Amino acid sequence: MKRIVFTAVLLFTVTISCISYALPPDADLQSAIQTVRKFTKLKPSYSPDDVMECATDSFTTVAKNWQNIPSTLRQELKPVFLRPGLPGSFFGDIVLTEHFNTPHFKLHYTRRGPHAPPLEDFHPRNGVPDYIDLCADAMERAYHVQIDLMGFKKPYMDYWAEQNGGDHKMDVYLFTFPALGITTADWFEGRVLSTALTIAPYFMINSRIYDYVGKLEGIRYLETTCAHEFLHGIQFAYNAYMPTWFMEASATWIEVMTYDGGVVDDGDTIPDPDEPTETNSYNYYIHQLRRWFNIPDISLESRIGDHEYGSVIWALYMAERFGYDIIRQFYTNTTDGSYREFGNFYDVFIDNGTTLAEAFKTFTVWNYFTYTRANTTVEIPGYRNAERFPPVAIHPNDVHSQYPIRTHFDSEAMPEHFSCRYIVFRPQGVMPEFAIKIDGADLAPYDMNALTIGDRNNIQSELNRLNGTGLRGWAAKFIVRKQNDKIEIREAFTYHRSQEAQLTFNDFGGVIKEITLILINMHADVEQVVVPGGTSGGSVSFVAGAPPKGQLANVQVSQGTSGALLNWTVDDPTGIQEVAIVRKRYVLNSETDEPQTFQSDAEVLAAADRNGDGIAEDDITVVGRVSLTQNQFEDRTVFQDVDPDDMVHYYYAVVPVDAMGIMGTPSIAPDSFSPQTSTDLEMANQAPSFFINTQQHGTGEWHVEVTSTHTLQSAPMLSVEAPNRDTYNITLSQVSPTKWRGTLQTNGFPATGIYLYKISGKNLSGKTGNRIWQGQSFSYLQNSVNRKVVVAPNPLRPAFGNQHLSFYPKGLKVEIYDITGNLIKVIENASNWDCTNQNGEKVCTGLYFYIASDGNGYRSAGKFSIVK
């Protein structure tokens, strides 16, 4: 909503001496109470400095927190929620005897006294003051655009209310009070839910707006005020307790959707009425937006001064990037409850294919490209009217050209939650390498074993929320301006625990002409960093300059006493004060998955966002720091971030760090490390055990699977002794680090009885394990199918290259007969037949019969054919 020269509502944080009882401790509630009190004793007239824009949020905040307000204070404020003219109401003395009806509204006004609107009646000359006609038209236009065209839910009717204005129509009361407009309701005692309430609204519109800005501007203000307040009524139909700051921000946004200056091609798809003399709400946005652009490091949801009206920029961003219907989607999402920490926004952005973390960070970039920076990059589409928006404020102390530079912000000076700060770096000469590093307050220490269970659980909860939503810690966007004014947008994702991230740029002062860091506080609520025994308000710093030139090399990782043991050498100590140890965790998703090391030096210096959802992965972190004089470090924190049962590999890098905290070129260990628990170490000193599973596949053929309790040096040796003392050696093929498979094929029909499996293998430490496993008793008599002989191929087609017929199982005596019963050939210890008779002559095509026997009394007969 537009701004006249009205005085902002001040936040009082001290007790007012004239109050005989204490106000609630909540600052927003205190501010709302102070605002509502202004309506307890109305004056005949007000100056522009006395009039605020909209008091809906204050009325709603008081109603929402009614049970948290002292009873004496509730008695004082209760009459303000009674309609004008009702007994006991603070507006009870206001007698609004005149009425004007439209299809959806009933307007109540008077022609007498200080509450009467301007009484001229020229256009149209209908016996009704033009002010009332204008207000009625504006309310109906708001209804048409917002309900009929944009699809918002209709406000609830008040026919059930004891005092409903006389009918089912929505009531609009016009009189004088210290605001342009208010949307409120017949609040009642006993409201149950503190996060969700739907209720029928009524509207109060100031009848003397012309007195504050003159008639010409007053007409514009009256129209946009009606559009603004009507959307509040719509909000009450979804949830009157949705975040009040966004109620005001989106109600301010709706003004330009309802009155866009008659622009036909306005970028949206709404077939709104476009008139040549239509009010252009964009003309009022400039003042509104300054409230946000001048102080971007104040929280998006702040109600300090009139910042919530400036937060219309968030609604504009949402609507222009995702389409205006996303505002309705947000309202719908709040129907079941208004959630802390931007929970409703989180849900809506997920439904629109992104995350709240990504959306807010991109929002901070859009806000940079306004005014003279508008339309200077194709990477960011930006606002349609960005050139008309104010430039985002950059404090002179945040423009740097001397390096190295380090700046620290404590909890009072740092950007508030869900806000940002713009910091500019300009070159002085050419720097081959230029690094910018941010460092927020640690969300977790390197090793959490020393913490109490309570602190450990609280910290883990914070880390889980960060990993799931990205709404913790800090973020850094970089706007890189290059030669020929080419713009590049980059991002550094902070490590989850230490909240550090660094980007290193090449040819700063050559190809790169300027870098703007957007330092973003990604806490969705007031930042509270868990520290042993309590919390702190957090902090953040940044450092910029040339990275150290020193080099580390020859990184090796091995099993230590309690974790991974790293050793390295220092090739060049120049500029190095300490060494940071960075670890990457890779959990195998399957037995065939291949672990992946650091993909680049840049991946060592910051976390990664591999799926592009704007949320940093939690697999890369700093696990320790040592002085330059040390060249060894043992990581004792393995398994603190994963389930010990996971198939996990760790990769390590050592990074030189200078006295300012800037990181140099990493040295990456070539091999991965799979941590061993104490149980693993005990098992390593034990001989492996084996488990065998068999499954019959055909006559005389079994598939055998061997599983070991340890990783082995090589495939185990497996032999099988049959009941007839025949011995078979089975070749095993590895299918996983601890699993092998092979096939047992007997000679002839397998003998009846017990088969013994003998296996032997060595683990990596050289311990040998042996096992003799007794299979189940095997008998042909119990299962005749086991005596079946397979002949293949059947039929045999010599013309196609098949010259031999094979018999399974092998080793049987096979007698072959033709169709007349003549014996063609006898094959001892048969494996295959070359289609010749006893004289070595090729046989003719036709049908043949066979009898196979194993010499133990078991026989099998069958037939096959040979075709051309």
pLDDT at 367 over 50: yes
Model confidence at 3, in pLDDT bands (50, 70, 90)?
A: very low
Predicted confidence band at 16 (pLDDT cuts at 50, 70, 90)? very low
For residues 663 and 648, give the distance between their C-alpha atoms in angstroms, rounded to a whole number: 27
- The stretch 81-99 carries a mean pLDDT of 85
Cα(221)–Cα(4) distance, rounded to whole angstroms? 9
Out of 426-430, 527-531, 780-784, the most confident range is 426-430
Q: Could you give the CA distance from residue 145 to residue 150 in angstroms, rounded to a whole number?
A: 6
Do the domains 682-774 and 551-674 match in fold? yes
- Top mean pLDDT of 39-48, 80-89, 273-282 is at 39-48
Spell out a b/e string for 132-168, using b for 16 or more CB atoms within 10 Å of the CB, else e.
bbbbbebbbbbbbbbbebbebbebbebeebeebbeee
Q: How far apart, in Å, are the Cα atoms of 289 and each of 212, 219, 307, 318, 372?
A: 22, 22, 9, 15, 16
CATH code: domain 27-362 is 1.10.390.10
Task: Measure CA of the first residue to CA of the last residue in the chain; give whole Å.
Answer: 93
Task: Name the H helices within 17-102.
Answer: 27-37, 56-64, 71-77
Please name every residue paired with 517 in a beta bridge, in sequence order, or none if there are none: 423, 478
Counts of helices then strands in the chain (DSSP H, E): 16, 39
Q: What share of the chain is helix, strand, coil (3-state, %, to 5)?
A: 25, 30, 45
Has this prediction a pTM greater than 0.85?
A: no
Report the C-alpha gap between 249 and 654 in whole angstroms. Answer: 48
Q: Specify whether the CB–CB gap between 1 and 54 falls below 8 A.
A: yes
CA 653-658-664 angle, 5° bins: 40
pLDDT digits (tens, 9 = 90+) for 716-756: 999 988 877 788 899 999 988 788 899 988 877 777 777 78
- pLDDT tens digits, one per residue of 580-593: 999 998 887 776 67
State percent of the chain over pLDDT 70.
90
- Classify strands 105-109 and 170-175 as parallel, antiparallel or unpaired: parallel
Q: Is 87 helix (H, G, I), strand (E, B) or coil?
A: coil
The model's confidence at residue 820, banded by pLDDT at 50, 70 and 90, is confident
Closest CA to 182 of 256, 236, 134: 236
Report domain 789-866's class. Answer: mainly beta
CATH topology of domain 551-674: Immunoglobulin-like (2.60.40)
831/703 Cα distance (integer angstroms): 20
**Burial per residue of 374-398, b for 16 or more beta-carbon CB atoms within 10 angstroms, e otherwise:** bebbeebebbebbeebbbbeeeeeb
Which residues, at least 6 apart from 590, have a Cβ–Cβ distance to it below 8 Å?
Answer: none
Q: What is the DSSP letter of 485?
A: G
Antiparallel, parallel or unpaired: β 756-762 and 739-745: unpaired
The pLDDT assigned to 18 comes to: 39
Round to whole Å and give the CA distance between 588 and 598: 15
Q: Which of 626, 437, 407 is nearest to 547 (CA)?
A: 437
Instruction: Tokens for 452, please give them.
Output: 């109490």
pLDDT score of 228: 96
pLDDT for position 784: 46
What integer pLDDT is reported at residue 630 of this predicted model? 94
3-class state of residue 676 by DSSP: coil
SS3 53: strand
Average pLDDT of the chain to the nearest whole number: 85
pLDDT tens for 621-668 read 999 999 999 999 999 887 666 555 567 888 999 999 999 999 999 999
DSSP secondary structure letter of residue 810: B
Residue 479 CB neighbours (<10 A): 24
* pLDDT score, position 463: 83
Can you tell me the distance from the alpha carbon of 662 to that of 518, in angstroms, rounded to the nearest whole number?
18
Q: What is the mean pLDDT of residues 27-36?
A: 88
682-774: CATH superfamily: Macroglobulin (MG2) domain (2.60.40.1930)
What does the domain layout of the chain look like in residue ranges? Answer: 27-362, 394-545, 551-674, 682-774, 789-866
How far is the CA of 90 from the CAs of 36, 42, 77, 193, in angstroms?
11, 8, 9, 27
Is the pLDDT score of 190 beyond 50? Answer: no
More confident: 189 or 351: 351
* 307 SS3 class: helix
What value does the mean pLDDT take over residues 559-572? 89
Residues shown for the chain: 868
The label of the residue with tokens 């048409």 reads 144
pLDDT level of residue 620 (50, 70, 90 thresholds)? very high
Residue 167 is classified by DSSP as S
Please calculate the CA angle 433-434-436 and round it to the nearest 5 degrees. 145
Q: C-alpha dihedral over 318, 320, 324, 325, to 10 degrees?
A: -60
Average of per-residue pLDDT across 64-73: 86
C-beta separation of 36 from 77 below 8 A: yes
Q: Which residue has the higher pLDDT, 710 or 181?
A: 181
Strand 717-721 and strand 727-730: the pairing is: antiparallel
pLDDT-derived band at 322, boundaries 50, 70, 90: very high
* From 196-210, 422-436, 498-512, 808-822, the region with the lowest mean pLDDT: 808-822
Q: What is the pLDDT of residue 659?
A: 96
Q: Does residue 105 contact residue 172 with C-beta atoms inside 8 Å?
A: yes
User: What are the pLDDT digits (tens) for 126-167?
Assistant: 999 999 999 999 999 999 999 999 999 999 988 776 677 778
Give me 121's structure tokens: 């009646």
- 432 close to 507: Cβ distance less than 8 angstroms: yes
Region 52-61: mean pLDDT is 92
| Alpha carbons 529 and 443: distance in angstroms, whole number | 6
235 is written with which tokens?
A: 């909000």
- pLDDT confidence band for 677 (50 / 70 / 90): low
> pLDDT at residue 339 above 90?
no
* H-only helix segments in 494-615: 601-605
Choosing among 3.40.50.720, 1.20.1740.10, 2.60.120.380, 2.60.40.650, the CATH entry for 394-545 is 2.60.120.380
